[in-house]
């Protein structure tokens, strides 16, 4: 009985140490990848990755932003008109989007659309020993492969979040003003009174930056450290989406508490 308890505790310790080693490896990978003097040619690779990670995610971001904004407008109108204050729908749509939904939903979509692709790409490079052959040529794959993808993620997501917020607000405008007949002046006027640029918009952007860091880091590490088999790549891709989503939601709560709560 006692030996069973002891072995349980030992297993727990082993799992914890294993995770700790993984986190250390992930941190070292990140530091080695980004702590480097950029060369002229790395700029072209960054552009290439910005296209893959950012521009190709635009469609899904635009479409979901439009529909989320329209749903918010519709739901807000139904709820608020019960209290006779449907003019406040603009304020509700804008604050919900700018503070919460735009960073979180865009980050979740980004993790699914771009993060998983990064993991699969790097995992396949590892499985087909492209990373190893780069090293044979004396080229550090961390600088060549990981760094441009990391920076592309960091740059893309805040841009996508800004676009998401604006498109969502216009989607809400489409439903609330054009369809349901809220006065356009009170839609924008209430919104402008309620939304503060520093407090709401910039804090939303800060969230986007944190999420971009988390997603890129998780996706790149999972790809870089995966088992070089087809099952290994598939498991790593799944882990990227699951870990990123959990990290986004967890950090979102912490960031919201720091930014908007606790002002007592």
Per CB under 8 A, residues contacting another protein are 47-48, 50-51, 54-55, 58, 94, 98, 156, 158-160, 162-163, 165-167, 169, 188, 191-193, 195-198, 200-201, 205, 263
Of 156, 131, 171, which is closest to residue 29 (Cα–Cα)?
A: 131
Query: CA-CA distance, 155 to 170, in Å (whole number)?
Result: 24
Of 212, 201, 253, which is closest to residue 109 (Cα–Cα)?
A: 212
Query: CA-CA distance, 155 to 190, in Å (whole number)?
Result: 31
For residues 46 and 214, which CB has a smaller minimum distance to another protein in the complex?
46
Minimum Å gap between C-beta 190 and another protein is 10
Query: CA-CA distance, 264 to 108, in Å (whole number)?
Result: 31
Q: Within a 10 A sphere around the Cβ of 10, how many other Cβ atoms? A: 10
For residues 16 and 51, which CB has a smaller minimum distance to another protein in the complex?
51
- Asked if residues 95 and 200 have their Cβ atoms less than 8 Å apart, the reply is yes
**In terms of DSSP H, where are the helices of the chain?**
2-34, 40-53, 58-81, 89-95, 102-110, 116-127, 130-136, 141, 147-173, 184-194, 203-224, 230-259
Of 125, 123, 103, 139, which is closest to residue 213 (Cα–Cα)?
A: 103
């Amino acid at each position: 009985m006692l030996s069973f308890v002891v072995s349980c505790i030992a297993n727990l310790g082993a799992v914890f140490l294993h995770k700790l080693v993984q986190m250390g490896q992930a941190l070292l990978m990140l530091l080695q990848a980004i702590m480097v003097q950029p060369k002229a040619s790395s700029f072209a690779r960054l552009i290439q990755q910005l296209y893959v990670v950012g521009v190709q995610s635009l469609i899904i971001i635009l479409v979901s932003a439009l529909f989320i904004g329209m749903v918010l407008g519709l739901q807000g109108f139904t709820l608020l008109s019960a209290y006779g204050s449907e003019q406040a729908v603009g304020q509700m749509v804008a604050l919900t989007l700018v503070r919460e939904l735009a960073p979180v939903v865009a980050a979740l979509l980004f993790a699914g659309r771009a993060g998983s692709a990064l993991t699969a790409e790097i995992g396949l490079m590892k499985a087909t020993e492209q990373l190893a052959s780069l090293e044979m040529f004396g080229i550090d794959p961390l600088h060549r492969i990981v760094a441009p993808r990391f920076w592309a993620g960091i740059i893309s997501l805040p841009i996508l979040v800004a676009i998401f917020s604006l498109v969502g607000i216009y989607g809400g405008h489409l439903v609330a003003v054009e369809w349901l007949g809220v006065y356009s002046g009170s839609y924008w006027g209430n919104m402008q009174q309620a939304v503060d640029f520093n407090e709401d918009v910039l804090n939303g952007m800060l969230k986007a930056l944190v999420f971009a860091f988390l997603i890129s880091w998780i996706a790149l590490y999972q790809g870089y450290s995966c088992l070089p088999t087809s099952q290994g790549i598939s498991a790593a891709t799944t882990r990227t989406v699951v870990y990123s989503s959990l990290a986004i939601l967890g950090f979102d709560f912490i960031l919201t508490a720091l930014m908007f709560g606790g002002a007592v």
